[in-house]
Amino acid sequence: MSTARDFDVRSEIAPGGAHVVHVSGELDLATAPLVEEALADVSGEILVIDLSDCTFLDSAGIRTLVGAARDRAGTGRVRIVTADPGIVRLLEITGVDTLIHVHPSVDAAL
C-alpha cells in the first residue's frame, strides 16, 4: 500500500465550471478515503477525476470511482482521465468504462 507522501489529491475549478480532482500516486485501500473526502466537497454539474498521474489502481480505487458516479447520478456527469494503458484496461475489465466515460486528457474530458 502507498503512504501519504507518495500520494496527492487536489481539486480545481476549470474554465466553464467543471470541477477537476487530480489524483497522483497510488489509489488504493490506504488512499481511497482521501479521494472520497475530496469528491464529497465537489459541486457543479461536471466532475472530472484526473488519473493522469495515478500509478496504481486497486479495487478500493474502483469502488471510489463507481461510488462517485452513483452519488452524482441524476445531478451531474462524471468523467475519468487517464491514458495509462494498464489503468484503461482495468477500467474496461471491471466495466467502469461503461458507467463513466474515459478520456485521454482533461481537455478532452471538458
In the chain, where the domains are located: 4-109
For the residues 46-58, what does the mean pLDDT come to? Answer: 96
CB of 23 closer than 8 Å to CB of 39: no
The domain made up of 4-109 is a member of CATH 3.30.750.24: yes
CB of 26 closer than 8 Å to CB of 12: no
Q: What is the pLDDT of residue 5?
A: 61
- Over residues 3-46, the pLDDT tens digits come to 556 899 999 999 888 999 999 999 999 999 999 999 998 877 89
